[in-house]
Amino acid sequence: MPGVPPARYAYLGPEGTFTEAALRQVPAAGRGDLVACAGVDVALDLVRAGEVDAAMVPIENSVEGGVSSTLDALTAGDPLMVVREVLVPVTFVLAARPGTRLADVRAVSTHPHAQAQCRRWLSAALPAARYLPAVSTAAAAAGLAAGGDADHDAALCAPIAAERYRLDVLAEHVEDNAGAVTRFVLVGRPAPPPAPTGADKTTLLVHLPQDRAGALLELLEQFAARGINLSRIESRPRGDALGQYAFSIDCEGHVDDARVAEALTGLHRVSPLVRFLGSYPRADQVRAEVTPATTDEAFSRARAWLQRLREGRP
């Protein structure tokens, strides 16, 4: 966020989830007010209403869902813009009330998606423990903290939840596949995008021209013809009928890059609807590989040449 840091941030709650961990990576958030919300749509509506300055929401590979909701909520109401992306490693701890030993654990609670990601470890370390589904990983941790009447005596949760609820960590990195990452975005109200850095992403929602063979192809050609890689593409249902799609797309580059600008205008011409959801620096800072034919300079030289043709000076 350029300028003065926002004072208030919403995020997909509850407290103690990976989304809060993502928000903690934004330096200005350390000095701001943080509002945990019951849904991505609630968080984004607070931004739209001006009650917070920005919201942190998951957009890709979230442990606890919300990703599809994010894609839909971003585009369902007044315009919003992504201003930053944050990556959070997906790692779980087994947390319990202080004093609990691993051998004492009889029942483990967590969100079903988290349970699925730690199944091998659970089988090996706690073969006899029961599993109790929770609405979120943080809720499982909070249940332990809150009082004495939980049905479970350990929670699989994010490290931040153990910290927040002052639980003991009985085991770390209990996920079956190390290295997974969830991607979050910080979303604000419309404003000029942050300046290009050479390692940027642009997020779009594009409705398919029509429901026919080749419509998606035509859409993708707008990118390929300008040498633009896509880093994410997902179909989203439109409205109520199956088979009517929009595509949520992250492409490399910035709306201020000439190749991205021409691709965007191409999409605008061929699609019934294009929603621009922001250009912002990539969290991994990987610079786009730009072919010689699609540099800003190549576009600029081509336009100068065109101008000369029109003036009769080929």
Residues 17-76 that bind a second copy (CB under 8 A): 38-39, 41, 60-61, 65, 69
| Member of 123, 197, 235, 285 binding a second copy (CB under 8 A) | 235
- Residue 272 sits in the site that holds a second copy (CB under 8 A): no
- Residue 273 sits in the site that holds a second copy (CB under 8 A): no
- Residue 305 sits in the site that holds a second copy (CB under 8 A): yes
Both tokens assigned to 192: 């000029």
Pure H helices in the chain: 18-24, 40-48, 67-76, 112-117, 119-125, 137-146, 159-164, 215-224, 258-270, 296-310
Place of tokens 């910290």: 163
Of the pair 100, 121, the CB lying nearest a second copy is at 121
- Residue 16 sits in the site that holds a second copy (CB under 8 A): no
Both tokens assigned to 216: 């998606």
- Residue 197 sits in the site that holds a second copy (CB under 8 A): no
- Residue 131 sits in the site that holds a second copy (CB under 8 A): yes
Cβ proximity of 133 and 156 under 8 Å: no
**Distance of alpha carbon 103 from alpha carbon 239, whole angstroms:** 50
Q: Which stretch binds a second copy (CB under 8 A): 29-37, 96-104, 156-164, 207-215?
A: 207-215
x/- mask, a second copy, residues 152-191, rule CB under 8 A, reads -------------------------xxxxx-x------xx
To a second copy, the closest distance from the beta carbon of 57 in angstroms equals 14
Of the pair 145, 298, the CB lying nearest a second copy is at 298
Q: Which stretch binds a second copy (CB under 8 A): 19-27, 127-135, 150-158, 161-169?
A: 127-135
- Residue 148 sits in the site that holds a second copy (CB under 8 A): no
With CB under 8 A, what is the number of residues at the site for a second copy?
84
Name which of residues 83 to 102 contact a second copy (CB under 8 A): 87
Grouping H, G, I as helix, E, B as strand and the rest as coil, residue 288 is coil
**Pairing between β-strand 8-12 and β-strand 33-37 as defined by DSSP bridges:** parallel
Closest of 23, 81, 80, 33 to residue 56, by C-alpha:
23
* Angle separating helix axes 215-224 and 258-270, nearest 10 degrees: 160
Cβ proximity of 108 and 94 under 8 Å: yes
